[in-house]
A and B are shown apart, each in its own frame.
Chain A
Amino acid sequence: MSDAVTARSGGNKTFSTLFGLALRLLWRDWRGGEIRLLFIALVMAVTSVTGIALFTDRLEKALLLESANMLAADRVLGSSRQPPEEILAEAESLGLRTARTLSFTSMAFSETGNMLVSAKAVSDTYPLRGEVIIADQPFIRGYPIRSGPPAGEVWLESRALPALGIDVGDSVFVGEAELTVSRIIIAEPDRQGGMMDSAGPRLMLSMNDVVQTNVVQLGSRVSYRYLFAGEELETLDSFSEWIGEEYDGEYRIRDVRDESEEISEALNRAESFLLLGSLFAVLLAGVAIALTAKRYSERHYDYVAILKTFGCTSNEIGVIYLAIQLVLVFISIVVGCILGWLVHHVILRLLQAVITVELPPAGFEPFVIGSLTAVICLLSFALPPLLALRATPPLRVLRKDLDQQKLGANVPYVFGILGTVFLVYWYSQNLVLTTVLVTAVAAIALFLSAVSYLLLRSSGSVGMKAGSAWKLAMTAARRRRKQNVLQVMVFSVTIMSLLILTLLRTDLIDDWQGQLPENTPNHFMMNITESQIDGIESFFAENGVDSNAFYPLISARVISVNGEIPEPEEELDADEERSSITEGAQSAEEDSLYDRARSELDAATENNEEAGAEAEEQEEGQVRGRLGRRQVTWADDLPPDNLITDGAWWGEVIDAGYVSIEDEYAGWLDIEIGDRVEFEINQQTIFAEVSSFRSVRWDNMQPNFFIIFSPGTINHLGATFLSTALMERDQKILLNDLVRLFPTMVVIEIDALIEQVQNIIAQVTSAIELISVLVLVCGALVLLACVNATLDERFHENAILRTLGAGKRLILSSLLIEFASIGALAGIIATVGAEASLYYLQEEVFEQEFNMHYWVWIAGPLIGTVLIAGLGMNSTREVVSTSPLNVLRRVV
């Protein structure tokens, strides 16, 4: 009776007995190689996620720091009118540090000369981030300082001194104030190339001297900036929100992403890529874990059956296997975190040359993310098949044919899918991306299984057909149809992930390199008259600067298309996307780098006409106003980075009266090839027939145009000219002579910005390369795990064939054919899936143009064939080199 009572009370073994047993089993399994692949898969998951998270965490912090330096603050509020002082008071009450700057163009006078300068007044606390580089003499190396000039003094850029004929210590007049030139300013953190910063050499003065200069009057073109810095991101964010609410959108706080579209786009794309990369890494590691755990649990059916005959209850089995997994995951986390830390260090070491800022130490979060990944992977991928072991019938010791089929073979997949969805969402924190990615993978998986099933479907053949290697392989493939469909799916998804990342990486890097090639011109010259062109060209020739094409520039507006006024309903998308110097929104409030340059450019080229035109537009109603004025040009040849998408560029004999229009703009105005468009240019009406549509690369930081006329159409309407030049740092002194020789010309310097963009692109390129390698390693692991998953059966079958007298050659050829066909099929499906996914990713997420990658259609299947055949043969070649008896004994 007492026995019966004990029996009913559940397991009779203490936890420490079970835990001790679990540890011993784990050790014995490890030694026997049973659990190594599962362990490696877990470690890979932790390593890749921790490594990537550590790297992105630190890079993000570094980029934030760098970007803060670019702004001389964490956040900036800019306006053409003075923002209320209470904004500063509110910021200070929140514990933020504040500073003020005021930029304007002004003439500086000395006793011997004068020149237009870009003046910037700064408050005592400027800069909040980064450093000003100053020197004691012009044209020498400077040293950093964390302040602006004191009251009564100015700092001048080197090239201004010879132009004004003064030395350090002399006086200059700015407006009515006489100020002493005390230092040379070499660089400042937040000088980026807008018109206010680029009209002439920099003159920095103290905010306290501004009143005395008397140059800032009501209606003056000035740019006010309030700078804010704080240690807590939350405080900065809540302060930004407060401004949004308090001023109802009138003032907006900006960070570096708002300041530069190019940098923001590069960062966004890189972040999306890293995210995608780590998602693939986790996904692949998860699949590897699922496969290895499934195989591990299959190999443990007998183990459990034996344990049950020895008196282990299901609960005790559960405890033993749970303990094994917990110990395994704990060790994996420790090893994975250490490896992840090393991986991120290797990444950082490789990036040493391009990461210019000192990286802040990593937080603890990446380790938590890595560890949780392992736990979630284990819970969703590994634990279900292992816990299903609990239900192994003890009768299996007598009857081998009893398997786990009844135990709900799909349960592990359900858990796996749920776990994957959770992980994808957790990483991306983006419901849309999660939904899209999960739906895409699910659709591909379904499609793949249907296709693979159909392709491998048996045509009713019976037996092994062991006569020829080909037949043997095909019947083997059909017999293992279920496993093979799963294998093809796993191979396809893995190869697809690798193809997507590789192609995306190549396209992104090509795109960036194409965007800003090494010799990208870094100075824009505008407001050039036709008569000055020869002079400018010869000036550059004399001084060893390559001059580029001169584009006529004239302001135009579309009036009608085929006699009807166009009525576009929405704003033009391209206005938000493109960032060409020559085109831009017309908002007076804009403060971003290019917007500033654009509006200044408009002012410089159109003078008072613009104001008149705007007033006229308002009278004509909103739709008409939205049509806006555009800077247009004429050209003999199609400009670089432009592609004809419809119609034809003018031929060798060029007729007047034609126009080529940017394709999105044409679509927005509902213009067709052959339409007759009416333009208003300098208060004259011009008609032109649309002969072609063009796509334009707006982000190449070069002159770009919505509308290009055929030569002879508008030449008589009085255009100014625009050109670009590449000037190295040591050639910049030439600007003095250039503006002295051609005083009406406006020079916009974007060299600092291009350098910054190129620097950031170089950083993210290296990061992307490394992430790709990490994902490749994860992919290889999955392939290996997947080949191994069906190894036992193949071993067993081929050992039997060998005992029956099948030759080495027959077995090897049959294995080769079977693996190669599976690989080829997976390669084809992966290629289709990769191209389809890339279409979506490039169009929707990375905002790139999608082009088919024709070489992949050959390379994909080829890679699949070679890779899977190679891996398969490598794993199974033992079958012919070991005695069949040993194989049969080992695989029982």
Chain B
Amino acid sequence: MIRIEDLCKSVDTSEGLLTILKSISLNIDAGEAVAIVGASGSGKSTLLGLMAGLDTATSGDVVLDGQSLNAMDEEQRAILRGKLVGFVFQSFQLLPSLTALENVMLPIELKGDAQAKEKAKRLLLRVGLEERGHHYPNQLSGGEQQRVAIARAFATEARILFADEPTGNLDTATGAKIVELLFDLNREFSTTLVLVTHDELLAQKCDRIVRLVAGEAVSDEKTSARDEEVASV
């Protein structure tokens, strides 16, 4: 589903060229859940941005569902994102002037779907916020905001979900609930999940863990979760 080939990213700074990612290659299969872990500044969010086509690599390529991002301009990448990709962010990224329901409706509306409202309502019901649809983001708790964000991420039935520190802004108990919801929906929609986190427990829930240290992928290992899942199958 996702193939990363020799991906490098460096930026110009006042102190010279700074290399953020060094020659990363990776394959992620459809339906797989992969955690990218690493310390702060290890380049994991940069890698996520490149994989999702939000940024361009200095060299190397990302191939999403058979399509090379390198060969596309921003417009074409945007269209591809619209077709394939959903996001969950650490800071939720809900639009403050839209209600919870409207936030979920937005990506469905963008597809020109006349059933946007009904679909969004169903998703809010699924994340347990059917009563809070008319509330604005600043009237919701952090956990509630993230649940809206998850509902929005699944609204377009994206085949790949990128999650950037989804529990980073939440307390442990709320974080645990959110993680549960995220993985439930992931299974329900058979989505490929790429999750950036520094939380080992959260990472362990994925099928694979890719560890980044100073921009380099130092390990890529299967987790017990994968084994359990395989066993249960």
Q: Which residues of A contact B (CB under 8 A)?
A: 3-4, 6-8, 10-14, 16-17, 20-21, 24, 28-29, 31-32, 34, 302-303, 305-316, 393-395, 397-400, 886, 889-890, 892
The answer on a CB contact under 8 Å between B138 and A890 is yes
The answer on a CB contact under 8 Å between A397 and B93 is yes
The answer on a CB contact under 8 Å between A13 and B112 is yes
The answer on a CB contact under 8 Å between A890 and B48 is no
Nearest residue, chain A, Cβ from B82: A311
Q: Point out the residues of chain A lying under 8 angstroms from B91, CB to CB.
A: 400, 892
- B33-41, B49-57, B213-221 - interface stretch: B49-57
- The digit string for B68-92, where 1 denotes a CB below 8 A from any CB of A, is 0000101111111111010101010
The answer on a CB contact under 8 Å between B109 and A398 is no
**What is the bound-complex CA distance between A28 and B138, given in angstroms?**
15
The answer on a CB contact under 8 Å between A7 and B54 is no
The answer on a CB contact under 8 Å between A21 and B110 is yes
**What is the bound-complex CA distance between A398 and B98, given in angstroms?**
20
The answer on a CB contact under 8 Å between B102 and A28 is yes
Pick 9 A–B contacts, CB within 8 A, sort by A.
A7-B72, A11-B75, A21-B109, A29-B97, A32-B96, A312-B78, A397-B93, A398-B54, A399-B49
Contact A3 B67, CB 8 Å, known A12-B79, A312-B78: yes
A-B contact count (CB 8 A): 118
Which of B49, B81, B164 contacts A310 (CB under 8 A)?
B81
The answer on a CB contact under 8 Å between B97 and A17 is no
Q: Point out the residues of chain A lying under 8 angstroms from B138, CB to CB.
A: 886, 889-890
Nearest residue, chain B, Cβ from A309: B87
- The digit string for B106-122, where 1 denotes a CB below 8 A from any CB of A, is 11011110000000000
The answer on a CB contact under 8 Å between A17 and B110 is yes
- B65 on the interface (CB 8 Å rule)? yes
Q: Point out the residues of chain B lying under 8 angstroms from A307, CB to CB.
A: 106, 110
Q: Point out which of A311, A315, A886 has the most chain B C-beta atoms below 10 A from its C-beta.
A: A311
Q: Which residues of B contact A (CB under 8 A)?
A: 45, 48-49, 52-55, 65, 67, 72, 74-83, 85, 87, 89, 91, 93, 95-98, 102, 106-107, 109-112, 136-138, 156, 164
Contact A309 B112, CB 8 Å, known A29-B97, A397-B54: no
Q: Point out the residues of chain A lying under 8 angstroms from B83, CB to CB.
A: 3, 311
Interface of A is mostly: helix
Q: Point out the residues of chain B lying under 8 angstroms from A315, CB to CB.
A: 75
Q: Point out the residues of chain A lying under 8 angstroms from B112, CB to CB.
A: 13-14, 16-17
Which of B49, B93, B110 contacts A395 (CB under 8 A)?
B49
Q: Point out the residues of chain B lying under 8 angstroms from A28, CB to CB.
A: 97-98, 102
Q: Point out the residues of chain B lying under 8 angstroms from A316, CB to CB.
A: 78
Which of B76, B78, B85, B97 contacts A8 (CB under 8 A)?
B76
Nearest residue, chain B, Cβ from A394: B54
Q: What 9 pairs between A and B have smallest CB-CB spacing?
A: A311-B82, A32-B97, A17-B112, A7-B76, A313-B75, A310-B107, A313-B78, A395-B54, A889-B138
Min CB–CB distance A775 → chain B (angstroms)? 32
Q: Point out the residues of chain A lying under 8 angstroms from B93, CB to CB.
A: 302, 305-306, 397
**What is the bound-complex CA distance between A889 and B96, given in angstroms?**
9
Which of B55, B74, B102 contacts A314 (CB under 8 A)?
B74
Q: Point out which of B55, B77, B93, B109 has the most chain A C-beta atoms below 10 A from its C-beta.
A: B93
Min CB–CB distance A65 → chain B (angstroms)? 52
Contact A312 B82, CB 8 Å, known A14-B112, A17-B112: yes
The answer on a CB contact under 8 Å between B89 and A398 is yes
**What is the bound-complex CA distance between A3 and B52, given in angstroms?**
16
Min CB–CB distance A25 → chain B (angstroms)? 9
The answer on a CB contact under 8 Å between B67 and A4 is yes
Which of B52, B95, B111 contacts A306 (CB under 8 A)?
B95
**What is the bound-complex CA distance between A400 and B49, given in angstroms?**
13
Q: Point out the residues of chain A lying under 8 angstroms from B53, CB to CB.
A: 394
Nearest residue, chain B, Cβ from A307: B110
**What is the bound-complex CA distance between A17 and B106, given in angstroms?**
12
The answer on a CB contact under 8 Å between A309 and B52 is yes
**What is the bound-complex CA distance between A342 and B54, given in angstroms?**
51
Nearest residue, chain A, Cβ from B137: A889
Q: Point out the residues of chain B lying under 8 angstroms from A397, CB to CB.
A: 54, 87, 89, 93
Q: Point out which of A6, A313, A398 has the most chain B C-beta atoms below 10 A from its C-beta.
A: A398
Which of B54, B67, B79, B137 contacts A309 (CB under 8 A)?
B54
**What is the bound-complex CA distance between A397 and B52, given in angstroms?**
12
**What is the bound-complex CA distance between A21 and B87, given in angstroms?**
20
Q: Point out the residues of chain B lying under 8 angstroms from A7, CB to CB.
A: 67, 72, 76-77, 79-80
**What is the bound-complex CA distance between A163 and B126, given in angstroms?**
107
**What is the bound-complex CA distance between A309 and B81, given in angstroms?**
6
Nearest residue, chain B, Cβ from A32: B97
The answer on a CB contact under 8 Å between B87 and A311 is no
The answer on a CB contact under 8 Å between B109 and A311 is no
The answer on a CB contact under 8 Å between A309 and B75 is no
Contact A311 B78, CB 8 Å, known A3-B65, A302-B95, A394-B54: yes
**What is the bound-complex CA distance between A398 and B91, given in angstroms?**
9
Q: Point out the residues of chain A lying under 8 angstroms from B52, CB to CB.
A: 309
Q: Point out the residues of chain A lying under 8 angstroms from B48, CB to CB.
A: 398
**What is the bound-complex CA distance between A28 and B79, given in angstroms?**
25
**What is the bound-complex CA distance between A254 and B53, given in angstroms?**
75
The answer on a CB contact under 8 Å between A311 and B79 is yes
Contact A398 B67, CB 8 Å, known A306-B93, A312-B82, A313-B79: no
The answer on a CB contact under 8 Å between B109 and A24 is yes
Contact A6 B49, CB 8 Å, known A398-B89, A398-B164, A892-B91: no
Contact A13 B72, CB 8 Å, known A309-B54, A394-B54, A395-B54: no
The answer on a CB contact under 8 Å between A3 and B75 is no
Min CB–CB distance B193 → chain A (angstroms)? 16
**What is the bound-complex CA distance between A395 and B53, given in angstroms?**
9
Nearest residue, chain A, Cβ from B103: A306
Q: Point out the residues of chain A lying under 8 angstroms from B55, CB to CB.
A: 393-395
**What is the bound-complex CA distance between A34 and B136, given in angstroms?**
14
Nearest residue, chain A, Cβ from B142: A889
Min CB–CB distance A307 → chain B (angstroms)? 7
**What is the bound-complex CA distance between A312 and B107, given in angstroms?**
9
**What is the bound-complex CA distance between A502 and B49, given in angstroms?**
57
User: Besides A310-B106, A311-B107, A398-B45, 13 other CB < 8 A contacts?
Assistant: A11-B75, A13-B112, A17-B110, A17-B112, A21-B110, A24-B102, A302-B93, A307-B106, A309-B54, A310-B107, A311-B81, A397-B89, A400-B91
Min CB–CB distance B196 → chain A (angstroms)? 9
Q: Point out which of B74, B79, B102, B110 has the most chain A C-beta atoms below 10 A from its C-beta.
A: B79
Q: Point out which of A13, A302, A394 has the most chain B C-beta atoms below 10 A from its C-beta.
A: A394
Nearest residue, chain B, Cβ from A17: B112
**What is the bound-complex CA distance between A80 and B174, given in angstroms?**
102
**What is the bound-complex CA distance between A314 and B109, given in angstroms?**
17
**What is the bound-complex CA distance between A883 and B137, given in angstroms?**
16
Q: Point out the residues of chain A lying under 8 angstroms from B54, CB to CB.
A: 308-309, 393-395, 397-398
**What is the bound-complex CA distance between A315 and B91, given in angstroms?**
27
